[in-house]
Structure 1
């Protein structure tokens, strides 16, 4: 059974049909890259999977549990949305770090907020805080940022900020890590820093969905590639097949345009 199964996902904004009957699956430990032109629906799809947008149609199942079914009102409860989002870690293209907190505090924040809801929090506050800090420091070390733990976002480069954002997403141990154009706000030198981290995560079999415009990275790292155009999945397959030997004319036109 796939870790993630999304079927028939549709999303409209007024009379604009942004997603049209999208279906995809993701195995545990797999890296899926989603490519396509601006406006093809890539980011909206990612936001629907993370419940930052509500799909109008379709079904989302994670690890055998139905998180969303457009035909089942029981899955529509607003009170359950935050719990559903915990299955996904999302890294935005513009970092979205809290400027008033250090790198370490940014990584720890979500865990601390969740911990306060535990019935044993008051009695074990110090221990819980120490455990969260230890985990956060280990994640920053994994990102190559041990010496930046006490720095605020404005004291960090764009690449460093994005690596803090990745550590923050990993801190809650999500089932699936999602990236929305993680290098689009970075210059080429800083892009390399972030892509190295993503390559390491892929090598460690982190389950990932990556919306990206980095074709070389997608070819090297993704187990599968999904090409979207006009709100539909046009082509899906291995990186070698989709990028090097595309079957569909729309895919070939996109890749030809991208390489010029």
Structure 2
């Protein structure tokens, strides 16, 4: 870049630098996501929490065995050492509570992506808290299960934050960022070329200096071989985009 570039060139360079920053952050996220040890630990936590939610649902549904008509004879059985009507009451509460939490019993949320599953599980725990269902769950599903699920949810949310870089957008989508960066480069190069004035030879040095990083970093290919995505390498080794890829001054740079 010249020391005092036109404002539109400086703006194009700044836009290009911003995408470079996004891309570097995305690469860090991708490294976290692809790290073999991290992926294995994340999968183990996901599998464990899936099992806990399944256990909670199964324990609630298990009470339905006491509602079977074949056990009606126990209601009037004086020799039974437990209050079967109280057991039946618990079974009814468990059925109603299970329906509130799981509907027909589906645990489809466990098949979602990590962020989606995290949010859906958080929603269920919020429902349990706001509707004051915790005491019933502790009684009907076991005193240990809900506290373990609640703590594992905290760990799960931390895992999701770490994997996503605490960003809910798809910053780690390298394909999208690659296209975005290519467009910024094309726009910058095009605007830099507007500084060239054939009547002023010194402007050629300015333009070449501004484009030199692109020329140096881009792998050189034979002039007979087309570049990626329709790019064409000229005789001077400079990679140029096809004319239709160059954005106008009013064109949105983000698509």
Query: Which of the five TM-score ranges fits, normalised by the shorter chain?
Result: under 0.3
Report which of the two has the higher share of helix: 2
Instruction: Answer 1 or 2: which has greater strand percent.
Output: 1
- The normalised TM-score by structure 1 is 0.19
